[in-house]
Amino acid sequence: MKAKYEELTKLEEERLANKDDPKWAREEPDRELDRYANIHPWAGNRIKLVVPEGYNDYINASPVTLTSTAEKQSALKKGLQDKYICMQGPKAQTVDHTWHMMWHSITVPDNAAPGVIIMLSALTGPNPANPSEIMEKCYKYYPMSEEDPPLHVNESMQLGEDFKATVRFVSRENNVDGTGIEVRKLAMSVEGEEDEKTIWHFFYPLWPDAGSLNRQNVNSVLTLMDLTRAKNVDEENPRVVHCSAGVGRTGTFVALEFLMGELQGGAWEGWDEGEEKGTDAIFETVNQLRMQRKTMVQALEQYVFLYEVCRKVWEEKYMLPCIGGEHTHDNPPEEAIPES
């Protein structure tokens, strides 16, 4: 697996070195809008905000769509939601940008159709360069409780004069089904628009900067996937996923959900880790992700985690004994080096 991961790294380095292909052009870092100086989207695959001419349309977010890696696909997998927007954890300077994107990212004709956000990062955590120091991982970009006043979007008109919005808290459910997941219902309204838009915000607090993901945590991640799909009314609507940098935990979540759909749909019925059977679906999935957003599934530990979980679920699906007993997974290190 280490050799495979190193191959993925080499492929990404080749893309970065290919200056003749605009597809792999790097978006210039924006020190105000980017959380980390080394994490930004491909210039040819980024979300562009719908703003008037002359305004900055940049947000550190990438559209992501995955396609099946299996030659044989089961009808059970039809309808899987495989469209995402992967973004960095918002900063104070990008709260307006985030909500502007949310309003315009819903693709169904009805503006009142709900949006879904999946937040995989705590607001603060240890600085990887100095673990005794606490640093911001994500700004509090949403009203967390009924005590919080409504959030007013684009008051400074930095995204144009024609877009002003309000996001208000509606309700919250803590520790859903004993998983630790927090679900918030938010309501977003825009001046000049008749209908409010419901935004379902899912906060998953069990993916720490350090520690392990035990079996219970894995099951709660799978529950999170089910819950967010259920709230997304149309499979053409992208769900928005973010952690801190928007590549490590975010990429691992997206890859795992897609691979679970492949596996549960029957596409891997003949998969055997001990035999060479051609295409490596996990490798191909991560490579697809990295072609759409750099550095997705950032750490080797995250890549190994995908194999371990897929193997465990595959063994359970086909009623094979679990090799080595209980699975535990070392959690990956923090995803990116903070700006100096």
pLDDT digit string (tens) for 256-272? 999 999 888 777 776 66
The residue behind tokens 């603060």 is: 124
295 torsion bin: left (phi>0), alpha (psi -120 to 50), beta (else): left
Q: How far, in Å, are 10, 222, 286, 331 from residue 212 at the CA level?
A: 28, 16, 22, 5
Q: Coil, helix or strand for 273?
A: coil
- pLDDT, tens digit, for every residue of 160-184? 999 999 999 999 999 998 889 999 9
Structural domains of the chain, count: 1
Residue 338 reports pLDDT greater than 50: no
Whole-angstrom distance, CA of residue 298 vs CA of residue 326? 25
Global pTM value: 0.89
Kindly report, residue by residue over 181-224, the tens digit of the pLDDT. Answer: 999 999 999 999 888 999 999 999 888 664 446 667 899 999 99
- Token pair for 219: 């099951």
Domain CATH for 46: 3.90.190.10
Q: Which domain holds residue 254?
A: 2-330
CA-to-CA distance for 43 and 153, rounded, in angstroms? 26
| 338 in a structural domain | no
Task: Report if residue 337 sits inside a domain.
Answer: no
- Judge whether 336 lies within some domain: no
pLDDT value at position 328?
41
The reply to whether 37 falls in a domain is: yes
DSSP 71-115: SS--GGGTT---EEEEEPPPPGGGHHHHHHHHHHH--SS-TTS-E
The partner residues of 262 in beta bridges, in order of sequence, read: none
- Widest distance between CA atoms in the chain: 62
Task: Render pLDDT for 277-304 as a digit per residue (tens, 0 to 9).
Answer: 567 899 999 999 999 999 999 999 999 9
